[in-house]
Structure 1
Amino acid sequence: MLPLTLQQVDELTADVAAVIAPCLYNPTPEKLNVLMRLYKTDPNRSLYACVDGDSVFAIIGLKRNPTENTAVILHIAVTEERRGQGVGRQLIDDVLALHSLAAIQAETDREAVAFYRSCGFAVESLGEVYPGVERFLCMKKNEAGLAGKRESAR
């Protein structure tokens, strides 16, 4: 696979909306606009896209905790035709490196647990968070980010 280039997303284009919409429950234009506004106004939130020519084919959205040097994956999606090619894994590795994070986590459902495990995340059940829906906490430590945090503490 070719190296991916992450681009920070500053506006909600039709391509971005099409890729991020499956991450949302009952996506509407209003929900997508509110989501984009949150990414634009919160300095600890970042939304990145991978683009091939003019087409967005993957996104990852984060909320960073600068005090802990960690982040939570709020949204991650890859278009159907690009799945199974390591794009999601590379998105995660790229944001870990870009922000020199000590760790990254995500809360997900049973459907995505295998993906996170394959990316090196430890997975823990949170139980039935919603009626009939088991949720999972996925955590990945980044040794390079931990080393950077130790260095900056000296």
Structure 2
Amino acid sequence: MLIHTEPTPATEELLTRAMFPDPVRIARALATYRTAEDRRIFAWKTGGEVVSAAGLHVGHGEAEVLHVGTRPDMEGQGYGRALLHAVLIRLQLNRMTAETDDDAVDFYRRSGFGVVETQDRGGRRRYLCTLTPGKADQPCC
């Protein structure tokens, strides 16, 4: 079940899994979710518990996935993928994008995003991932 939520300890813990492990940067990113109108957190609940959360920058019919994390004991079961597809449909977005690296690009591919390699940053390959409503309408899980 998809829910839109304010930051909670559970959602913040999941979002932190997708952040660079620097306490200052983590605190800054979490504060932005609490204060910026264009930042939103969505979560996927199953059995009454939040199992996956996504933090997005939303505006003008589009959203950029900034962070997505799933409980370690629930990874690989499609909750992150279902969450992103449900958000795209619920918000009636024209497109959802994410910029990622080698560590997460396969998650986006499996989730139906088109993937294009882009400019390296910091010696690491980067990818621009894009999901459109036609792709999100297909069964994902």
Question: Which range, TM-score by smaller chain?
Answer: 0.7 to 0.9
Greater C-alpha radius of gyration: 1
Q: Within the alignment, does 1:41 sit opposite 2:35 as a pair?
A: yes
CA distances 1:30-55 after superposition (whole Å, capped 9, x unpaired): 54443233123222211112334564
Higher helix share: 1
Aligned length: 136
Distance 2:51 2:104 in 1: 18
Contact 2:44–2:79, Cα closer than 8 Å, also in 1: no
Q: Which stretches of structure 1, 4 residues or more, deviate above 6 A after TM superposition?
A: none
Instruction: Pick from 63, 73, 95 the counterpart of residue 81 of structure 1.
Output: 73
TM-score by length of 1: 0.77
Q: Distance in 2 between matches of 1:74 and 1:65?
A: 13
Counterpart of 1:115, as a letter, is F
Q: Percent identity, please.
A: 27
Aligned-residue offset at 1:117: 1.1
The C-alpha deviation readout for 1:78-111, integer Å capped at 9, x for no partner, is: 1111111111110111100110001100000112
Aligned twin of 1:10: 6
C-alpha distance in structure 1 between counterparts of 2:71 and 2:106, whole Å: 18
Question: In the alignment, which residue of structure 2 is the partner of 1:24?
Answer: 19
CA RMSD across the alignment: 2.2
Between stretches 111-120 and 97-106, larger displacement belongs to 111-120
Q: Please, which runs of 5 or more residues in structure 1 have no aligned partner?
A: 146-154
